[in-house]
Amino acid sequence: MALVLGLFINLIFVSLIQNLFPQLIEILRNWDLLLILIFIILGGFAGYYYGTIQVGGFVPSNEFVKEEPKATEKILDSSVIIDGRILKIAKTNFIEGSFIIPNFVLREIQLISDSADPIKRNRGRRGLDMLNELQQLNNIKVKISYIDYPDIRDVDSKLVQLARDIGGKLITNDFNLEKVAEVQGVQVLNLNALTEALRPIVLPGEELKIQVVKEGKDENQGIGYLDDGTMVVIEDGRELIGKLVKVTVTSIIQTAAGKMIFTKAIGPVSEEEQQQNTQEKDSNKNKKARENLLKRAKR
């Protein structure tokens, strides 16, 4: 397009010179090849310039620049910060966009960390430690928002209003906050729903290796847990408490709190298999430690 426009401008320019200055053409007839080359070069530059600028909102080009949509900012509430799983998720690069920490949420966590109740105090301090680690990540930006709403007393209502004002999304574990936000048109990312969706699929008849940690409610039952926290009820497992055992899945029940897997004990895992499992876990821990050291060294 630019080349065609340049040639067109060149023809117009040559025609004007021939009509306005015919004597000049006669004088420079011996230089016609050089003049043609100069006109082509000048016309090409002029065509390229006018072919790539906007004129009255119209772009005379077949190429359109596609702007990539900006990632939506994510607002964290206190339940997600105290929970701590958002730190691991942030490290995986699955969530795009900046994290927004409202100042009124920080105040709420500060009050929890200063609580006289030791459990609440530990939860609050864990949340503050998690925030410090989150701010040190290189792959995601963490911003502190000082926007406040003095007329709104409830923190949840402030979060919803902030999300509406900046067009952001809420990340929470609070089911009630999620429903209130959705009613008001705010998009919510619930980490509990994400965790549930990522639980491994276990089918009846499948064999598992489970550490029996305590006795169950019914007679001769043992209780164990998968790595993601799913409870496993082990029939004939009470006498196997403290041991790593092989079990067969008999049924799966979905409850309000999550899945419960019912199994039947086959027998203890042999010492060789236990050593193999221990070596695999140690290898994974060492691998993660090396990765963390490399990340720190790059900083």
The C-alpha atoms of residue 260 and residue 252 are separated, in whole angstroms, by: 6
Residue 99 has pLDDT above 80, yes or no: yes
236 and 157 in a single domain? The answer is no
Tell me if 252 is assigned to some domain.
yes
Residue 118, token pair as written in the block: 């030791």
CATH code assigned at 107: 3.40.50.1010
What is the pLDDT of the chain when averaged over all its residues? 78
Tell me if 58 is assigned to some domain.
no
185 and 144 in a single domain? The answer is yes
Residue 112 has pLDDT above 60, yes or no: yes
**pLDDT computed for residue 58 by the predictor:** 44
Tell me if 96 is assigned to some domain.
yes
From residue 97, give the alpha-carbon distance in Å to each of 70, 128, 192, 221: 8, 21, 20, 47
Tell me: the pLDDT tens digits for 252-287?
887 766 778 999 988 888 776 666 666 565 565 556
176 and 78 in a single domain? The answer is yes
**pLDDT computed for residue 19 by the predictor:** 63
150 and 181 in a single domain? The answer is yes
State how many domains the chain has: 3
CATH code assigned at 238: 2.40.50.140
Range of the domain at 161: 74-197
111 and 187 in a single domain? The answer is yes
223 and 193 in a single domain? The answer is no
Would you place residue 219 in the very low, low, confident or very high pLDDT band (cuts 50, 70, 90)?
Answer: confident
**pLDDT computed for residue 161 by the predictor:** 94
87 and 172 in a single domain? The answer is yes
Would you place residue 183 in the very low, low, confident or very high pLDDT band (cuts 50, 70, 90)?
Answer: very high
**pLDDT computed for residue 85 by the predictor:** 87
Residue 93 has pLDDT above 90, yes or no: no
The kind and range of the H/E element at 142 are strand 142-145
Tell me if 59 is assigned to some domain.
no
129 and 177 in a single domain? The answer is yes
Q: Which residue has the higher pLDDT, 200 or 176?
A: 176
Tell me if 275 is assigned to some domain.
no
Residue 234 has pLDDT above 50, yes or no: yes
187 and 79 in a single domain? The answer is yes
**pLDDT computed for residue 184 by the predictor:** 92
Cβ partners under 8 Å of residue 32, min gap 6: none
Tell me if 128 is assigned to some domain.
yes
On whether the CB atoms of residues 159 and 182 are closer than 8 A, the answer is: no
- % of the chain exceeding 90 in pLDDT: 34
Tell me if 202 is assigned to some domain.
no
108 and 173 in a single domain? The answer is yes
46 and 83 in a single domain? The answer is no
177 and 124 in a single domain? The answer is yes
Residue 100, token pair as written in the block: 């927004």
Tell me if 64 is assigned to some domain.
no
Q: Mean of the pLDDT values across residues 195-206? A: 80
Written in H, E and C, the secondary structure of 246-282 is EEEEEEEEEECCEEEEEEEEEEECCHHHHHHHHHHHH
